[in-house]
Amino acid sequence: MIFDYIGMFKAGRPTQLAITYTCLTAFVLFDYDQGVFGGLLTNPDLLTIMGNPNSGKLGIIVACYNLAGAFGCLLNFWVGPKYGKKVVIALAMTLVTIGAVLQCTTYGVPQLVVGRVITGLGVGIDVATVPTYQSELSKRGNRGRLVMTEIVFVTVGVVVAYFFDVGMSYVDGPVAWRLPIACQCLLALIVLGLIGGLPETPRYLIQRGLISDAEAVLAKVWNVPTSDPAVQQEKDEIIRANDLERSNPFKWTAAWSKDAVRTRWRLFLAVFVLFTNQWTGANAIVFYAPTIMEQNVGLSHTSALIAGGCINMGNMMGAFFSCLISDRIGRKKPLLIGLIGQSIFMMLFGVMIKYSHVGPATGKAAIAFLLWYEICFGASSSSIPWLYSAEILPIRVRAQGTSLAVFTNWMWQFTIVMATPTMISNLGWETYMIFMSFGFAFVPMVYFWVVETKNLGLEEIDYLFLSERAPQGEHPADVSLGGIETGEIKEKVAYEESPVSKA
């Protein structure tokens, strides 16, 4: 069933809903493991299993998941283009299931680390594949909303994990931490059960020469005949872009050289936007919110867990807002505004931590500022970079380029997650000033470097980069193949008038 390219769900909305639900469930796993393990790091039984580690050892145990996730992205370099996204997602869910079983049955650090490494490999493959899978099966007018909905469900995973940990904190014994970890298996098995009935992406099918199957997939997702003009236009655009990019077969050296569609610069942008996703300090909060609440704010164990869950709800609220506006306002403006907000509230949080000795009011203010930080993060750096990195790359390097961008994201996660316990212990409030500085530094970079991509088809984004400098705020709707080959850009019709946008 995995190799059924067309899928078994009914055409139109049933197939669209199945794709969306499967992708959302797959993405919940991304932050569920991070959130659930972060909420368990103060559990006495789990700490005993881990040998009551110091801050350095604790950072390594937690961060090995992120390091494995980075290598999962690298693994996607080879399996993604060869086997298609359905097979890759199924592989990812299998690894997550095996890793979760090893984690929840562990009685020592070695098995726990092996389980976290295997889970990290699976989740790394997952997050390098799922955004691209959904974006390639979405219409251009709602691609941003659908892909960003995945990010909303990432934050849902964190919130569910934290409050699951809160509930289990009233339970004695090892079940208090084994059961929350084991629930990853349920999510992975749901995705495994659904992915076989979904269609493969038309871009992968065309790359494999399966033109009629690609037409059938487009027709099924849009619930129109294969002869429909919208299907034929989309197919022709994919074929033209694919032929153009295949005229120079993919080599890694090509990713670093200047070519007709500026692949090197676009790869840098994909890496850069995911860099902003990490270095404003969000994963320090996701993984260690209860630890921060106990050590820096002075809350009790249960209060710290509840505060951690509520703070991460701010991320969910911001991501939901971003999901609603991404296809109307675009990607660049929310990212800019959100980075400014994150930096300001991280600064205020750090100041409150510095003066936490003054009285309980500063602790309450610190929690409030951290909540606002998470709202700003959710509306910008949490969600937009995943969409932007999936859509900005040319077809020829999309699988490899997305994997590379997500690989760097995982490596920065690993760095932050491993270093945060030591930073909090040694630097205290100054830790948050470091994250603030990164946030402010990103603002001019985003303003001058990031090009708006709203309401553009994945193939049309190539045309933004054909000129020496991409126009700010202008969106060429179509370019003839001859124009691409000769360098003469010819605008034909506005996007809003294209058949695909009305389909």
pLDDT digits 0-9 by tens, 78-116:
787 788 889 999 999 999 999 999 999 998 899 999 999
Cα–Cα distances in Å, from 256 out to 56, 192, 215, 265, 467? 36, 36, 33, 8, 18
Residue owning tokens 């794709």? 19
pLDDT band at 417 (very low <50, low <70, confident <90, very high): confident
For residues 401 and 394, give the distance between their C-alpha atoms in angstroms, rounded to a whole number. 9
DSSP 8-state secondary structure symbol assigned to residue 107: S
Tokens for 281, please give them: 């300090």
* Contact between 385 and 347 (Cβ < 8 Å): no
466 is a domain residue? no
222 is a domain residue? no
Q: Is the pLDDT of residue 369 over 80?
A: yes
- pLDDT (average), residues 218-233: 88
Tokens for 330, please give them: 């675009």
pLDDT at 257: 67
Residues 6+ apart with CB under 8 A from 138: 146, 147
Interval 119-174: pLDDT, tens:
999 998 988 788 778 878 877 666 666 666 777 777 788 888 888 888 888 888 89
Whether the model clears a pTM of 0.95, i.e. scores above it, the answer is no
pLDDT band at 497 (very low <50, low <70, confident <90, very high): very low
Rg (alpha carbons) of the chain, rounded to whole number: 23
Residue 482 CB coordination number (10 Å)? 9
pLDDT at 327: 72
Burial 312-332 (b: 16+ CB within 10 A, else e): bbbbbbbbbbbbebbbeebbb
What type of residue is 206? Answer: I
For residue 286, which of 37, 465, 42, 476 has the smallest C-alpha distance? 37
Cα–Cα distances in Å, from 413 out to 59, 209, 274, 380? 12, 38, 10, 17
193 is a domain residue? yes
**Distance between alpha carbon 45 and the CA centroid of its chain, in Å?**
32
pLDDT at 254: 63
Tokens for 225, please give them: 């005949």
Residue 135 CB coordination number (10 Å)? 24
If one counts the domains in the chain, the total is 1
pLDDT band at 3 (very low <50, low <70, confident <90, very high): low
Q: Provide the residue count of the chain.
A: 503
189 is a domain residue? yes
For residues 326 and 385, give the distance between their C-alpha atoms in angstroms, rounded to a whole number. 12
pLDDT at 16: 85
pLDDT at 271: 93
From the number of C-beta atoms within 10 Å of its C-beta (0-12, 13-18, 19+), residue 484 rates as buried
Of the two residues 75 and 182, the one the predictor is more confident about is 182
What type of residue is 231? Answer: V
pLDDT at 470: 42
pLDDT band at 255 (very low <50, low <70, confident <90, very high): low
Residue 205 CB coordination number (10 Å)? 24
Residues 6+ apart with CB under 8 A from 205: 5, 211, 213, 214, 217
**Distance between alpha carbon 269 and the CA centroid of its chain, in Å?**
15
Domain that holds residue 287: 13-204+257-449
250 is a domain residue? no
- pLDDT (average), residues 378-405: 82
What type of residue is 138? Answer: S
Tokens for 365, please give them: 């203010």
Main-chain phi, psi angles of 181, to 5 degrees: -70, -40
215 is a domain residue? no
pLDDT at 471: 43
**Distance between alpha carbon 13 and the CA centroid of its chain, in Å?**
25
Q: Is the pLDDT of residue 292 over 90?
A: no
Q: Is the pLDDT of residue 394 over 60?
A: yes
Q: Is the pLDDT of residue 482 over 60?
A: no
Interval 4-20: pLDDT, tens:
677 788 888 888 889 98
- pLDDT (average), residues 261-275: 90
Mean pLDDT computed over every residue of the chain: 82
Of the two residues 103 and 422, the one the predictor is more confident about is 103
Interval 23-47: pLDDT, tens:
888 888 877 877 788 778 878 888 8
pLDDT at 485: 38
240 is a domain residue? no
Q: Is the pLDDT of residue 409 over 80?
A: yes
For residues 401 and 273, give the distance between their C-alpha atoms in angstroms, rounded to a whole number. 13
Cα–Cα distances in Å, from 55 out to 52, 60, 62, 166, 251? 10, 9, 11, 23, 42
Please report, in angstroms and rounded to a whole number, the separation of the first and last CA atoms in the chain: 29
pLDDT at 208: 87
Q: What is the CATH number of the domain that holds 375?
A: 1.20.1250.20
475 is a domain residue? no
Specify the DSSP element, H or E, that contains 30: helix 13-40
Interval 432-461: pLDDT, tens:
999 999 999 999 999 999 988 887 776 778
